[in-house]
Amino acid sequence: MENTIKNKLKKTTDIILDVLPNTVKETVLGIKRFTFFKQQYPPRQLFIQIIDGRETHGGLADRLKGIVSAFCLADSKGMQFKIHHTYPFALINYLQPNLIDWRLTPEDKFSSNIFESRIMHITDLGNDIIRFSKSNTKKQFHAYCKGDLLHSINLELNKNYDWSTVFHKLFKPSIKLQKEIDDHSKIIGGPYISVVFRFQNLLADFPEYNYPTLAKSEQKNLIEHCSRALLKLQKQHINSKILVSSDSVTFQNSIIALKNIFTFPKKVVHMDYISGENFEVYLKSFLDFYLIANSEKIYSMGTSIMYKTNFPKYAANLNNIQFERIEI
């Protein structure tokens, strides 16, 4: 009961924060997070991307977009870049530093002191990027950086950052994740294309915010419609294996017996909406992302009532793979 009330209060707070101007958000979050005591002056200026559950962060693709954008902002000013990703899991369990060590250590002296740290909420709305570029504080930057800001950063700061290059500089799969990628790739057994279906909660198996659920008969019709579209696409790629990824285990189970179509139905949750799950549940999103990124071509397929997800688009960006969106 207590947890239910806390979750409802958190969701209400998140909704209110989302509609506030960024400068007001920074003040509110500062009041919630900072202290006036235990001062410890940071030995060097840090830019820390914060994903701590104190406001909405989105799913995996949204978080990765924000992290890549945050690194580019930090790099544009020669700042040390770190990631504080604690909600609903520690990012280090799934992704490891590659060429940039973004891990926070005790030596970094992550500060919650109001005199040493500054919160900044950075999106592509308003003048956040210019506001950041003109800041001259020596405090730690605790950034809630959201969205793919690379186009705006490159344009406004005269830079030439590339999403794929920055991602690979920051990340490589953890040992456990890499093993899962290798094992599933062996099951597919050769080159493949990917098709992604994003149902949200239309089929009643992916709770996410307050998105609607279809009646049973409408669920059946939607599954059949998507299956027919998948088989039609398969005829255009007659010699290709097809990996189907989805947020709906119900849909995946309905197509699992189709020839030359590979799908791995396993529980997946929205990272902003569901906390407290075990390691494997959150691992599934990272596994899907890398498997899709290793395809020869990537499709996002859905009807007008289905969400036009950017998850496969950014998986395509990871290795510069051709991406196509098909409305059925």
- Walk along the chain (328 residues) and give the pLDDT tens digit of each residue: 544 554 555 566 666 666 666 666 655 555 555 555 555 555 578 999 999 999 899 999 999 999 999 999 999 999 999 999 999 999 999 999 999 999 999 999 898 888 889 999 999 888 999 999 999 888 999 999 999 999 999 999 999 999 999 999 999 999 999 999 999 999 999 999 999 999 999 999 988 878 899 999 999 999 999 999 999 999 999 999 999 999 999 999 999 999 999 999 999 998 988 889 999 999 999 999 999 999 999 999 999 999 999 999 999 999 999 999 999 9
Could you tell me if 156 and 30 lie in one domain? yes
pLDDT of res. 128: 95
Could you tell me if 32 and 105 lie in one domain? yes
Could you tell me if 76 and 98 lie in one domain? yes
Distance CA 117, CA 101 (A): 21
Distance CA 255, CA 242 (A): 11
Closest CA to 286 of 258, 266, 306: 266
User: Of 173, 202, 226, at which residue does a domain stop?
Assistant: 173
Could you tell me if 42 and 13 lie in one domain? yes
User: Of 139, 154, 173, at which residue does a domain stop?
Assistant: 173
Closest CA to 246 of 221, 224, 265, 227: 265
Cα 196 to Cα 208, 264, 291: the distances in Å are 18, 12, 11
Distance CA 209, CA 56 (A): 11
Could you tell me if 159 and 191 lie in one domain? no
Could you tell me if 163 and 27 lie in one domain? yes
pLDDT of res. 21: 67
Could you tell me if 69 and 124 lie in one domain? yes
Could you tell me if 272 and 135 lie in one domain? no
Could you tell me if 135 and 202 lie in one domain? no
Could you tell me if 244 and 321 lie in one domain? yes
The DSSP result for 137-165, as a single string, is --SEEEEEE-S--HHHHHHHHT----HHH
Could you tell me if 52 and 169 lie in one domain? yes
Could you tell me if 203 and 304 lie in one domain? yes
pLDDT of res. 10: 55
User: For the chain, what is the domain count?
Assistant: 2
Q: What CATH number is attached to the domain comprising 226?
A: 3.40.50
User: Of 131, 150, 173, at which residue does a domain stop?
Assistant: 173
pLDDT of res. 96: 99
Closest CA to 117 of 52, 29, 55: 29
pLDDT of res. 274: 83
CA-derived radius of gyration, the chain: 21
Closest CA to 201 of 192, 211, 209: 211
pLDDT of res. 28: 58
Cα 282 to Cα 31, 100, 159, 171: the distances in Å are 31, 24, 34, 17
Range of the domain at 194: 176-327
